[in-house]
Amino acid sequence: MSATSGDGRDAVARPDIDVLHHSERQQMLRRTRTAVAAIVGGAVLALGACGGGSDTADTTSTSGVTGQPVAGGEARILALSEPSSLDPVVSGNNAVIAGVIGNALYGSLMIDDADGKVVYRMAESFETTDKGASFTLKLRAGLVFSDGTPLDAAAVKFNWDRFRDPANRSTYLADGSLIASTEVVDDVTLKATMVSPVPSFAGAIINSSLNWIASPDALKKGQAEFDKNPVGAGPFKLASWTRQAELRLVKNPKYYDAPKPYLDSLVVRAVTDAGQRINTVTSGGADIAIDSNPVNIDKGNSADLNVNVAALNGGFFMALNTRRAPFNDIRARQAFNAAIDLDAANLAVYNGTGEVPETLFTKDSPLYADVPLHKTDKARAQQLFDELAAEGKPVTFTFTSFASTENRTLAENIQAQLSSYKNVKVEVKVVDYAEVPKLRSTYDFDILVSSAFFTNPDPRLTTAFASGSAANLSGIEDKALTDALAAGRVATTDAERKTAYTTVQKRLAELSPLVFYTRPNFAAIAGTDVGGLHQYGSGSLLPEEVWIKK
């Protein structure tokens, strides 16, 4: 299977997608009450258009009002959280940490379509000739940042090298660390040599903020100055940012893909209360809500709003920090796993509308294996709690929760559930999303909500669970698990991959370093006059595609 560039030419093969059947990706793409649901090119990992003006219309899946895009107007967008910084190295390219803002400021190098092909945006190609040991990135000629300076290979090198530096505490340090070195070949060509072969590295770019390239000159001024005046080459540029209030963006006239963006401006506000998000869109107080709450998706459908949903394997999980007590003892982890009732948590957090992941892969995946991730056994849990207490190690921990309604409710429900057991004590600590980079780099927590969701499991599962990975929040160190992840990475058939990832699932279930509690359902919920809803990656909305019917 080959990838296609914006003009339709064959480019790089994607080994990671070649073995992921078209039927699986089509089944994984769930459209919920969309005005247009033609699966022409949208996908779970890429619901967007390749660059090149009118060429994009035939290669994307579009949700929202029908008809030709209308130029002008302003979109009011409700995000799940406010970023701590606009610097790509500490930003999150997903629905949770306002990926729409990064896409607005920086655009994207590449996305995927429903057939598993890379669809290039600012990149022209991304090739490997040595099975993922190295890659050659070619950029479109003539790309410029919003200040008129060139977005060239040197700019990409500067950005990608920052992701590899632990001192920057990157959100995607694990992904950046897959790169051993970068070399500028010419103005539009960059060579990236990997630490070890990663055939699926394009997926890591698409699902991270390595996809966003900022001006090196602007970044060199420091994060504080950069946040005041971020310089990218995306469809919009910053007009103002009032923290804890709103972020305003205006159309970038230097954006490469005219006539996009269609909108003149965006206003993004963080609303952590799930009920407020859906009510504001329903009442017309906002145009789009970025959401992951199944209750809101259900309400959006019932209200006949435009709802664009992407569903993935894996899910959100509670990471148990195995680096320190109490969860450095496997018995404490097993007791926690056995004690909690995930259906009760689902009822409390999502009114029972969420999907509790029973297995790592969904049943329509060729990698599905009937290996239960969790089993409630209250008697066993109490036995383990008592055993630890008898040894002078009663289980006491803090559940660090983010400020969203969902996170806080989950933490409080787990606290309430465990209150019925003896010899276990739970405290809940609520922190702002701005604390995410620090928590992920210092590992200063007992339990923290994280995620591993994907269509293709590599590199996401490897960065999340392999020994020594910076993104391995639980800190679990297990040779059998790491070896199975490595085998899955280089496997070339579904049978080989299934064998490897079945071992991964078994080791996760046995070691209990985490508890998956819900599948992700990333949604853009919009008013009936909004068109061009495109998501890619982990619920990352492409604002250049959005338009509003007048």
Quick check: 42 pLDDT over 80?
Answer: no
Q: Residue 429 corresponds to which tokens in the numbers above?
A: 């600590």
Residue 13 — pLDDT band, cuts 50, 70, 90? very low
User: What is the predicted pLDDT for the residue at 112?
Assistant: 77
Helix (H) or strand (E) holding 351: none
CB neighbours of residue 433 within 10 Å: 22
Contact of 543 with 530, CB cutoff 8 Å: no
Q: How distant, in Å, are the alpha carbons of 38, 47, 85, 262, 538 from that of 65?
A: 13, 16, 33, 14, 23
Q: Summarize the confidence of residues 290-316 as an average pLDDT.
A: 90
pLDDT value at 55 more than 90 = no
Positive or negative, the CA dihedral 346, 349, 355, 358 is negative
CA 245, CA 247: separation in Å to the nearest integer? 7
Percent of the chain with pLDDT over 70: 87
Minimum mean pLDDT range among 126-130, 152-156, 429-433: 429-433
- Name, in order, each residue with C-beta under 8 angstroms of 390's C-beta and a sequence gap of 6 or more: none
- Calculate mean pLDDT across residues 482-507: 94
Res. 17 pLDDT band, cuts 50 70 90:
very low
Quick: pLDDT tens for 440-477.
Answer: 889 999 999 999 988 789 888 999 999 999 889 999 99
Which of 24-33, 217-226, 242-251, 521-530 shows the lowest per-residue confidence on average (mean pLDDT)?
24-33
**DSSP per residue over 169-210, as a string?**
--TTHHHHTTEEEEEEEETTEEEEEESS--TTHHHHHHTSGG
Q: What is the pLDDT of residue 103?
A: 98
| Residue 11 pLDDT class (50, 70, 90 cuts) | very low
SS3 128: coil
Show the tokens assigned to 213. Answer: 């390239």
pLDDT 10s digits, 78-107: 999 899 999 999 999 988 877 999 999 999
Whats the size of the chain, residue-wise? 550
4 pLDDT above the threshold of 80? no
What would be the CATH architecture of the domain defined by 313-519?
A: Roll (3.10)
How far separated are the first and last CA of the chain, in Å rounded?
A: 41
Per-residue model confidence (pLDDT) at position 192:
99
Q: At what angle do helices 294-302 and 274-282 cross, to 10 degrees?
A: 20
**What per-residue confidence (pLDDT) applies to 64?**
67
Mean pLDDT across 121-133 = 96
Kindly tell me if the per-residue pLDDT of 20 is higher than 60: no
Q: Give strand pairing partners of 77.
A: 268, 288
Q: The tokens of 354 are what? A: 């969420």
Measured at the alpha carbon of residue 13, what is the angle toward residues 93 and 309, in degrees to the nearest 5?
35
Find the range with the poorest average confidence among 68-82, 266-280, 306-320.
306-320
Higher-confidence residue of 50 and 342: namely 342
Q: pLDDT by residue (tens digit) across 415-426? A: 999 999 999 999
CA distances from 162 to 66, 399, 418 (A): 42, 31, 42
Distance CA 69, CA 520 (A): 29
Whether the predicted pLDDT of 62 surpasses 70: no
At 114 the pLDDT is 53
**Measured between alpha carbons, how far is 512 from 4 in angstroms, rounded to an integer?**
41
Contact predicate 55/259, CB 8 Å = no
Strands 540-541 and 395-402: unpaired
When the pLDDT of each residue in the chain is averaged and rounded to a whole number, the result is 87
Question: Could you tell me the residue ranges of all domains in the chain?
Answer: 2-310+522-548, 313-519
Question: What does CATH list as the number for 2-310+522-548?
Answer: 3.40.190.10
Instruction: Report which secondary-structure segment, H or E, holds 79.
Output: strand 74-79
**Region 240-269: what's the mean pLDDT?**
98
3-state secondary structure of 451: strand
HEC profile of 145-164: CCCCCECCHHHHHHHHHHHH
Structure tokens at 243: 């923290």
Higher pLDDT, 26 or 340: 340
Question: What's the alpha-carbon Rg for the chain, to the nearest Å?
Answer: 22
Model confidence pLDDT, tens digit, residues 519-544:
988 899 999 999 999 988 888 999 99
